Structure 1
């Protein structure tokens, strides 16, 4: 059964990702999305199995993107950061971009 994080944890993570890591959201959307040019992306949710993004394409369409956590299912707050960093690193690898140090 998929783990559901407390709403306070979700608000904190989503606020951090959408306020402080907008470019990372776009990288993740570009690397794991459908290949269409990405204008912007917002993390909209997550659970123990993966993260969700609303991805706005340059043509105006918005699509939902679900990306599973690279390390598998999680159930601890500290694991969320680890998995988002792993997604960022994999996105950089797929796109041929040097990741920044963590």
Structure 2
């Protein structure tokens, strides 16, 4: 059975994204968070409905919530959704 999106799974995903894919988080903020001036961002939490970020733009920290286009069912779905969102940013 796949990992459900428990707080522990959220922490694991956030740590991985912040460490290895910080550039992707900035793209999420710029495109899906409609903050093109974002210079850096950190993923704070992820749940079935969306992700919480803190975004730095114009010298200010901005809390941001980005909703997903569907309700995630598990960690595998979260992975595929986050990858798909990056592919979408490349099309804009």
Please tell me the TM-score bracket, short chain as reference: 0.7 to 0.9
What's 2:30 paired with? 30
Cα distance in 1, alignment partners of residues 91 and 84 from structure 2? 10
What's 2:68 paired with? 69
- The SS at the match of 1:93 is coil
Contact in 1 for aligned 2:5/2:47 (Cα 8 Å): yes
Contact in 1 for aligned 2:29/2:36 (Cα 8 Å): no
Deviations, residues 16-52 of structure 1 (Å, cap 9, x unaligned): 1000001111111111223351110011111111112
Cα distance in 1, alignment partners of residues 35 and 88 from structure 2? 16
What's 1:80 paired with? 78
Question: If the length of structure 1 is used for normalisation, what is the TM-score?
Answer: 0.77
Q: Which structure is richer in relative contact order (CA contacts within 8 A, separation 6 or more)?
A: 2
Long gaps (5+) in structure 1:
95-102
Long gaps (5+) in structure 2:
none
Question: Equivalent of 2:87, from 83, 86, 89?
Answer: 89
Question: If the length of structure 2 is used for normalisation, what is the TM-score?
Answer: 0.85
